[in-house]
Amino acid sequence: MGYSERQLQLADILREKALAFGADAVGYASVESLRDGPSEKLFPRMKDHSRDHFAEEITTGLPHGRVFWEEDARTAVIIAIAHPKSRPSMDWWCGEINPPGNRMLLQVTKKLQAFLKEWDPSVSVYQKRYHVERGGIYLKDAAVQAGLGCIGRNNLLVTPEFGPRVRLRAMLISEELPPTGPADFDPCRDCPGYCVQHCPQNAFSEVIYTPEESGQTRLPGRDGHYFRRSCNQEMLRDEAAAETGVMPEVSDKPGEIIKYCRNCEWFCPVGSEREDK
Ligand code: B12
């Protein structure tokens, strides 16, 4: 598809702005390429949803797991912020309060939205929520299509610069921008799989999904080895182990600080040299 001068210019400016506002990586995927993607397709066939209480929080009016796409949305702008080993608190939840990393992501997309409003008020901008049930999109699928990295054996987006130690957020816009992916990148091919070996719940130890049974080849943990229920077991343990404390970055009131397991991120060697940017 040919892109106009205006679209090419916007693609450049938006990228520049996102990085200036604090994103560590940014990419674009066409909404068309994301519709009915691997995660959305698998969702109704999942063996165990685990966090089924999310179903009670559906605000889209769609069946559980379906993505709500705004009618005029054409491009998904995906941003990533690195969550390095040196700053673990970026991922800590304090009660119901969003972790500092998520708040940074939100600030970047809010600033991008404000910039776009000035650039051309006729461009529609949709902030996408974290949970698909509340209007979000499947962020890893979108990040792969936007060229930010690939899905690794740990079932996470693995980026060349920061490995899997990133968090993602999306914003949809009504302008068509040239897609920046997918990328030809596969660091897992010759890796012994430190990430999966260090899972405290052995969530990657058996094949849960097969291409035959699920009718698709893009599966959790690449070849269907990731079991959401086991992973969630660890997260419930982390919640039970939460201790009361204060996180000055988010609030001066004490709350239960939850430090979710990140072994499948910590043990991935990709991008480690960029840990402290
Ligand atoms: C629900 C949820 C959970 C649930 C269930 C996870 C799951 N995968 O099912 C629980 C609570 C267990 C969980 C755990 C974790 N989560 Co979580 N989670 C989500 C959430 C909200 C939706 C994920 C989902 O439901 N996927 C649907 C299921 C069906 O798909 P899937 O298991 O992901 O597998 C699909 C992909 O692998 C894809 N795929 C495979 N190969 C290929 C190839 C191509 C080309 C493509 C396009 C796609 C593709 O197809 C599979 C489906 O068949 C997302 C945010 C979002 N809106 O996307 C964050 C998210 C995925 N989680 C994230 C993280 C970091 C974690 C944890 C490390 C915990 C933590 N400290 O935050 C663990 C790690 C789990 C793991 N190794 O996968 C990050 C991942 C960042 C990254 N680098 O990828 C996300 C994106 C949130 C964020 N803030 O950025 N999570």
The pLDDT > 70 percentage for the chain reads 96
Which positions ≥6 away from 35 have C-beta within 8 Å?
A: 67, 69
Report how far residue 126's alpha carbon sits from residue 119's, in angstroms, rounded to the nearest whole number.
Answer: 16
Task: Tell me the CA–centroid distance for residue 140 and ligand 1, in Å.
Answer: 7
Q: Is 187 helix (H, G, I), strand (E, B) or coil?
A: coil
Give the mean pLDDT of 257-277: 87
- pLDDT on residue 146: 98
Task: Tell me the CA–centroid distance for residue 253 and ligand 1, in Å.
Answer: 30
The burial of 134, by beta-carbon neighbours within 10 Å (0-12 exposed, 13-18 middle, 19 or more buried), is given as middle
Q: Taking 80 as the threshold, does the pLDDT of residue 275 lie above it?
A: no
Residues 92-143: pLDDT tens digits? Answer: 998 778 899 999 999 999 999 999 999 999 999 999 999 999 999 999 999 9
Q: Taking 60 as the threshold, does the pLDDT of residue 277 lie above it?
A: no
Most informative mutation of 109, 156, 157, 229 for ligand 1 (most atoms within 8 A of CB): 156
Q: Cα 221–147–271 angle (5° rounding)?
A: 70
Residue 105 has φ and ψ, to the nearest 5°, of -60, -45
Shortest-distance Cα residue to atom 67 of ligand 1 = 262
Q: Cα 199–203–207 angle (5° rounding)?
A: 135
Give the mean pLDDT of 199-224: 96
Q: Taking 80 as the threshold, does the pLDDT of residue 190 lie above it?
A: yes
Task: Tell me the CA–centroid distance for residue 148 and ligand 1, in Å.
Answer: 15
- pLDDT on residue 98: 87
pTM for this model (two decimals): 0.97
Report how far residue 248's alpha carbon sits from residue 117's, in angstroms, rounded to the nearest whole number.
Answer: 32
C-alpha radius of gyration, the chain, whole number: 19
Q: Taking 60 as the threshold, does the pLDDT of residue 22 lie above it?
A: yes
**Peptide linkage before 182 cis (omega within 30 of 0):** yes
Residues 74-101: pLDDT tens digits? Answer: 999 999 999 999 999 999 998 778 899 9
Residue type, 178: P
Task: Tell me the CA–centroid distance for residue 155 and ligand 1, in Å.
Answer: 7
- pLDDT on residue 252: 87
- pLDDT on residue 209: 96
- pLDDT on residue 268: 97
Task: Tell me the CA–centroid distance for residue 151 and ligand 1, in Å.
Answer: 10
Residue with the two structure tokens 């499948």: 264
With residues binned 3-state (H G I as helix, E B as strand, rest as coil), the percentages for the chain, rounded to 5, are: 35, 15, 50
- pLDDT on residue 52: 62
| Count, residues in the chain | 277
Q: 59-65: which pairs have CB atoms within 8 A and are 24 or more residues apart?
A: 59/133, 59/134, 59/135, 60/133, 60/134, 60/135, 64/133, 65/40, 65/132
Residue with the two structure tokens 């974290």: 130
Give the mean pLDDT of 166-172: 98
Lowest-pLDDT choice from 52-66, 110-124, 215-229: 52-66
Task: Tell me the CA–centroid distance for residue 218 and ligand 1, in Å.
Answer: 13
Q: Which atom of ligand 1 is nearest to the CA of 164?
A: 83
Contact 149, 216 (CB under 8 A): no
Residue with the two structure tokens 């979108």: 142
Q: Taking 70 as the threshold, does the pLDDT of residue 178 lie above it?
A: yes
Ligand 1 pocket residues where CB is under 6 Å: 37-39, 42-43, 46, 50-51, 91, 130-132, 136, 138-141, 144-145, 151, 154-157, 164, 166-168, 218-220, 222, 226, 228, 231-232, 235, 260, 262, 264-265
Give the mean pLDDT of 248-268: 93
Give the mean pLDDT of 222-239: 95
Containing H/E element for 244? strand 243-245
Q: Which atom of ligand 1 is nearest to the CA of 102?
A: 89
How far CA 205 is from CA of 136, 211, 231, 237, 269, in Å, comes to 29, 17, 11, 19, 20
